[in-house]
Amino acid sequence: MAPAERRAAFGLAAIFATRMLGLFLILPVFAVYARGLDGFSPALAGLAIGAYGLTQAALQIPFGWLSDRFGRKPVIAVGLLLFAAGSLLAAVGDSIWTVIAGRALQGTGAIAAAIMALAADLSRESQRSKVMAVIGGGIGVAFMAALMLGPALDSLIGVPGIFLLTACLAIAAIGLLFGFVPRPQAPAAPAAATRFRDVLLDAQLLRLDFGVFVLHMMLTAMFVVFPLVLVDRLQIPLIHHTWLYLGVMIAAIAVMVPVLISAERHQRTRLAFIGAVAVLAAANLLLAQGPRALWSVVVVLVPFFAAFNLLEATLPSLVSRLAPAARKGAALGVYSSSQFFGAFAGGTFGGWLHQHYGIDAVFLMLAGMAAVWAVVATGMRVPARRAETVSGSSVADEFSRGGA
């Protein structure tokens, strides 16, 4: 990547990761914390975890359209302010309903599509998959950091303190947006209504939209119940979950990175993609068996998170490569709406299943959804990259440079 592309990639990855870190930090601790809130029920705890996804899903396409019309950076800044406001509301809540309202307000900062569209604006087509992979990798890093930091922060400042920290991170991201990320050379073109129709009728894009829906449904539903598996079944105190996630994530990265690089270099992205979906299905089936030993949980979690992070890095790159330039904002808006509606569905349906049928039913449902996704993905097409005279380094090289 050229220096400006590298700045864009790592700057936007940091903004996106900062925001996602704020969303993910409560995942490993909220299911336990929610038991002490007024009005608690397992179903409402799931709704609180996934509530941000509903407002994100509803506003992602409008925010993508607004970013096409008025520019990416102003729309992203407004979204970060809304996210900070929701974090503050959730921090002061002592009832489950106040936290649900705060999480829903967090979701009104629907900036994912605008960030990915800005990344596309600031990169050449031959380098775009690398830029998107860096952003996707940043989300993966944020997720892994949240799993490790969440339990530790909970012991230091509690869940309300985590929400306050989230608000501070959102404000810091605004400074990064205007102080580090380059400005696009050309103003954004106004979006046409027909672009959304074309995007919604594109079968290849719809496959990816369905995939990210399932992926984030799985993530959210899993953390409605998984902390309870560790606390109630395995008798592992919440503070010690940090060390479990740390070991699992290190091992998952060691598995995922070579697979991702090999698939990219040898044009085996489709095979790696479908294989990762199959791993998710198998992992959830094993979790549904009710593991009773720590070693059995680790054996399942390592391939699960390796597959999750591979898919998280690959999906936005494929959307960007498949969508025509004039429809990129619309395509990424639909994609991001699918992602966050999946988070809402996972929290809401996962909480309902937990309340009425128990923890294992949640994992069985997720295994079934992954199996459906694997079938849908068999018809996926991976477009070839257009060659350019300026050669680029590998995605791995870009990560090793660290955005310098």
What local confidence, expressed as pLDDT, does residue 321 receive? 80
Count: domains in the chain: 1
Q: What is the 3-state secondary structure (H, E, C) of the chain?
A: CCHHHHHHHHHHHHHHHHHHHHHHCCHHHHHHHHHHCECCCHHHHHHHHHHHHHHHHHHHHHHHHHHHHHCHHHHHHHHHHHHHHHHHHHHHCCEHHHHHHHHHHHHCCCCHHHHHHHHHHCCCHHHHHHHHHHHHHHHHHHHHHHHHHHHHHHHHHHHHHHHHHHHHHHHHHHHHHHHCCCCCCCCCCCCCHHHHHHHHCCHHHHHHHHHHHHHHHHHHHHHHHHHHHHHHHCCCCHHHHHHHHHHHHHHHHHHHHHHHHHHHHCCCHHHHHHHHHHHHHHHHHHHCCCCCCHHHHHHHHHHHHHHHHHHHHHHHHHHHHHCCHHHHHHHHHHHHHHHHHHHHHHHHHHHHHHHHHCHHHHHHHHHHHHHHHHHHHCCCCCCCCCCCCCCCCCHHHHHHHCCC
Q: Evaluate whether residue 33 is within a structural domain.
A: yes
Q: Is residue 16 part of a domain?
A: yes
Domain-embedded: residue 50: yes
Query: Is 44 a domain residue?
Result: yes
397 assigned to some structural domain: no
| Residue at 188 is within a domain | yes
Q: In this structure, is residue 168 part of a structural domain?
A: yes
Q: Is 399 domain-assigned?
A: no
Instruction: Provide the whole-model pTM.
Output: 0.84
**CATH (domain of 154):** 1.20.1250.20
Per-residue pLDDT of the chain (404 residues; tens, 9 = 90+): 788 888 888 999 999 888 888 889 999 999 999 999 999 999 999 999 999 999 988 987 788 788 888 888 999 999 999 999 999 999 999 999 999 999 999 999 988 878 888 888 888 877 777 887 788 778 778 888 998 999 999 999 999 999 999 999 999 999 999 999 988 775 445 555 556 677 777 888 999 999 999 999 999 999 999 999 999 999 999 999 999 999 999 999 899 989 988 887 877 888 999 999 999 999 999 999 988 889 999 999 999 999 998 998 888 878 878 877 767 767 877 888 898 899 999 999 999 999 999 999 999 999 999 999 999 998 888 776 554 433 334 555 554 555 44
What residues make up the domain containing 64? 3-381
